[in-house]
Chains A and B, each alone.
Chain A
């Protein structure tokens, strides 16, 4: 499992500092969603079988977290799936359902503890 990304707010701040940088509980700066690693939620993970994959990209269309990683050729004509970003894959399994049954290039496996 790759090391999780470092988060800007990992070191918990006290209320006095927050009152300065986050009055009214606002979150300063955008985008904030990359700071939130939804991969923390996962109890099962999709496993991708590169050999079976036809790069139809149905999984990419349906993934609610944009966790299907793509490689786009320089001329923009060839787009290939290259894996799953486990920092953000929340393990919902939608990609597994989206993958055509005859291809079956994705499968859920229990998360290792």
Chain B
């Protein structure tokens, strides 16, 4: 696996995603700006104006229209990308389901931001967690380097699975945080992605089709079942896309998850996105200074949910803290905790699980949050039973 040429740059998460989009050179980008994702499409529109890409750029009047235009272009065989956040993603909600059910491999950069009310522009995962049943593959990234690479591998993944993909960064933490990263050459990115091979093409006049017709009691379930199977099959396509990426660029990305010091761990934390970096520091301290058997698992791909892989790495853990940067308002905590509990319940070997919700509305996530989580798990390990299935960390009582 020969390493391709790379160039070191200093970019924010938004700049890195826009730069990846420039290198990908999609056929169509339809987008509407929203904080904190605005820069992605703003910078991309400059690439369009400067003639650095061949993209048809469609500046629409809302996110609902943005995703609708993406659906139309993708159904016509185009490679399509867009970007959004928060309320914008919420406004797309209706069309998200249409994109996935029509099996359209649209790749969308989403900058995670909370949902109103109260109005707030900062990071949590409520927006993409709210779209978790929309049939999109979801990739959560930890840093700017990974956001850049995931945008490229996201396109390959989408087009292999014929399903749409969201690649997310944590709002402001990554989107506006500058990091040094290695970027590939434009030609290499374009060669890696090649041409999209669509499942169908609504503009192919020699093979006319109808897209999006009424589908009632006699056929809807069968069509939906086929879409569900596509998500089962997506796991293989995700592994293949990441292997092909590694073979081509000589750079390996974690696929569904990144286990950190989990071997022989009795306590483990599951977390998504940029907070994992802080969590790893705390794990190092607890292991190296206090001799505790603690590990961390960063879940990178949340859809499809990697239940078998999770059991393999978490099955032997005794106490598992699942940290969600979103609450399901179901009185049980966050969606990741709920799903991990469901996933591990399927197997006989499984840890005791407790849900933690942290960092809502961009609340700072200091190491203390992670120490508190581990202390609570030790308290549970000592034989105590929490009143509730969820604990909130970093909030004033």
Residues of A within 8 A of B (CB): 12-16, 18-19, 22-30, 32
Contact = CB atoms under 8 A, between A and B. Distances in A.
Contact of A18 (B102, B199, B219): B219
Given A23-B199, A23-B226, A29 B102 contact: no
B210 interface: yes
B70 to A, nearest CB: 14
A48 B218 CA distance: 34
**5 tightest A-B CB contacts, nearest first:** A24-B103, A19-B226, A15-B225, A27-B210, A15-B222
A14 B104 CA distance: 22
Contacts of B221: 15
A30 B226 contact: no
Contacts of A27: 209-210, 213
B208 A24 contact: no
Nearest to B228: A15
B223 interface: yes
B206 to A, nearest CB: 11
A55 B218 CA distance: 41
Given A15-B225, A25-B215, 6 more contacts: A15-B226, A23-B162, A24-B101, A24-B103, A24-B199, A26-B210
Interface string B85-128: 00000000000000001111000000000000000000000000
Contacts of A26: 102, 200, 209-211
B306 to A, nearest CB: 23
A25 B223 contact: yes
Contacts of A30: 208-210
A18 B208 CA distance: 17
Nearest to A27: B210
Given A18-B219, A18-B222, A19-B229, A24 B211 contact: yes
Given A23-B199, A24-B200, A25-B102, A15 B209 contact: no
Contacts of A14: 222
A12 B225 contact: no
Contacts of A29: 208-209
28 contacts: A12-B219, A13-B222, A14-B222, A15-B221, A15-B222, A15-B223, A15-B225, A18-B222, A18-B226, A19-B226, A19-B230, A22-B226, A23-B199, A23-B200, A24-B102, A24-B199, A24-B227, A25-B212, A25-B219, A25-B223, A26-B102, A26-B209, A26-B210, A27-B209, A27-B213, A29-B209, A30-B210, A32-B210
A5 B214 CA distance: 21
Nearest to B102: A24
B195 interface: no
Nearest to A13: B222
B207 interface: yes
A17 to B, nearest CB: 9
Contacts of A18: 219, 222-223, 226
A27 B226 CA distance: 14
Contacts of A23: 103, 162, 199-200, 226
A12 B218 contact: yes
A23 B222 CA distance: 11
B210 A24 contact: no
Which of B102, B221, B226, B229 has the most A CB atoms < 10 Å from its CB? B226
A23 B212 CA distance: 11
Interface string B305-326: 0000000000000000000000
A25 B225 CA distance: 11
Contacts of B200: 23-24, 26
Contacts of A13: 222
Contacts of B219: 12, 18, 25
Nearest to A18: B222
A15 B226 CA distance: 6
B194 to A, nearest CB: 21
Which of A13, A14, A26, A29 has the most B CB atoms < 10 Å from its CB? A26
A25 B98 CA distance: 11
